[in-house]
Structure 1
């Protein structure tokens, strides 16, 4: 006895409905992820050592997009197209605090950089003999041992530890006006940016420096020379909040993860 084809048709309808449900689920998931990334948090990977020892190469962070409000810089781009071209300046703007670790767009190249906020609008910033001065006053400095770096270039103190040659960098605890304390590294005295002219931070701009002071291209160097210069407020993307995962090598090599750094707050 031949069938009338109804069962086959019903099967096709169910498969079609199942495919549509799967497609809707994927679309919803992408929309939720897009909203999460655009409005709340964005992942960021540390590619260089300019923020050692606070942040290490291979740290995977989350930055809060809402910390300072929203601008075209804080919106993601898809295939090179900014999703928020209509934003001018900042929406729901909130001023950053001195000492915040911030991801921002380089004013000239538009690359994503991460540095520590040192100078606020109107501040006078200068380095003298490797000591930071803000508005004419030297910041607090306390010696905090050494940091053993296996990837440093120039080094004045090389040591052998467990059969490996490493560089012993001076580690200091620096306290900024307002009380924010953090660790900085010093390679040697007399380095390029240990002594600078005095910089006066313009309105609506900020002055950034890396914690690895002798190995950071930041606001101490003008943009024309490859540095950052002063960073406009609208270029800020978000504040670094927490290290999610830290990989000492390719991400897939789980055995090389620095588990002690996972889910640690950034200060």
Structure 2
């Protein structure tokens, strides 16, 4: 959605500049020629600028500094988030950032372990991804044979049962759903315990200014196990609410009203 952000900024600045130029110069010239009816009329471009600038400015401010909507495009955060969930992201949880550049201008808070965050992955900076923060600066994270370790201690899990997926998530039917006791933020994860995989195994030390992120769908998530640590500067915000769920970009598929208003934990 970077193109939308760029377009919104450009249109806001352009309409505001046109309105300002008219107020400072053009309107006075028209008033001086008020005896000529045609010259006294307000140009259509100025009329549009005056009408749209307040709306564009309000949308830009809300989207950049308050909350921004995102759509979940994949199954990597199942069972917490499903493909087709439309979520809201708190843009000021970790500080105020400028649109487009994502440069932080005001520090407010720091990410906490277990937060579900939207970010720009280092290897795909034009995209927005969503994962859960597992490791904070200074932590040592290890993952071996479906077992997560935090600072040398295994993170315990409690089996819940066999997962039954629906819609785009049907591919995960049969996976084991478990509650993972991540310190400060217990949450559900999915694992294919019948699969033996070692491609995501390893041990990592989280350096200052970085975070280790993972998807809740452990066997179907491209995360820090594969591409490394997430720089703090790439964070976009903290996901906090599901406001809609429907499959298909224009909600042409199934609609799940039960997920509307669900808090993201």
Match of 1:169 among 137, 159, 175: 175
The equivalent of 1:37 in structure 2 is: 63
Match of 1:61 among 84, 87, 107: 87
- Structure 2 stretches of 5 or more lacking a match? 1-35
Distance 1:19 1:195 in 2: 56
The equivalent of 1:101 in structure 2 is: 116
TM-superposed deviation, 1:148: 1.7
TM-superposed deviation, 1:265: 0.7
The equivalent of 2:54 in structure 1 is: 28
The equivalent of 1:264 in structure 2 is: 262
Number of equivalent positions: 228
Asked if 1:230 corresponds to 2:245, the answer is no
The equivalent of 1:3 in structure 2 is: none
Asked if 1:196 corresponds to 2:196, the answer is no
Structure 1 residues 20 and 131, CA, compared in 2 at 3 Å: closer, same or farther? Answer: same
Bigger proportion of residues as helix: 2
TM-score (norm 1): 0.76
The equivalent of 1:182 in structure 2 is: 187
Structure 1 residues 211 and 14, CA, compared in 2 at 3 Å: closer, same or farther? Answer: farther
- Structure 1 stretches of 5 or more lacking a match? 1-8, 156-165, 222-226
The equivalent of 2:77 in structure 1 is: 51
TM-superposed deviation, 1:17: 9.1
Q: Secondary structure at the match of 1:213?
A: coil
TM-superposed deviation, 1:168: 1.5
What are the within-5 Å matches in structure 2 for residues 63-142 of structure 1?
63-71=89-97, 75-77=98-100, 82=101, 87=103, 91-110=106-125, 111-142=127-158
**Partner deviation per Cα, 1:213-241 (whole Å, 9 max, x = no partner):** 000000011xxxxx3x1011111110001
Q: Secondary structure at the match of 2:173?
A: strand
The equivalent of 1:218 in structure 2 is: 223
**Partner deviation per Cα, 1:202-261 (whole Å, 9 max, x = no partner):** 11110000000000000011xxxxx3x1011111110001011101234343x7211110
TM-superposed deviation, 1:37: 0.6
What are the within-5 Å matches in structure 2 for residues 150-161 of structure 1?
151=168
Q: Secondary structure at the match of 1:256?
A: coil
Structure 1 residues 24 and 190, CA, compared in 2 at 3 Å: closer, same or farther? Answer: same
TM-score (norm 2): 0.77
TM-superposed deviation, 1:146: 2.2
Distance 1:122 1:236 in 2: 18
**Partner deviation per Cα, 1:106-134 (whole Å, 9 max, x = no partner):** 11221211000000011111113212110
Distance 2:249 2:224 in 1: 31
Distance 1:247 1:14 in 2: 51
How big is the alpha-carbon RMSD for the aligned residues of Structure 1 and Structure 2? 2.7
Q: Secondary structure at the match of 1:257?
A: coil
The equivalent of 2:212 in structure 1 is: 207
Bigger proportion of residues as strand: 1
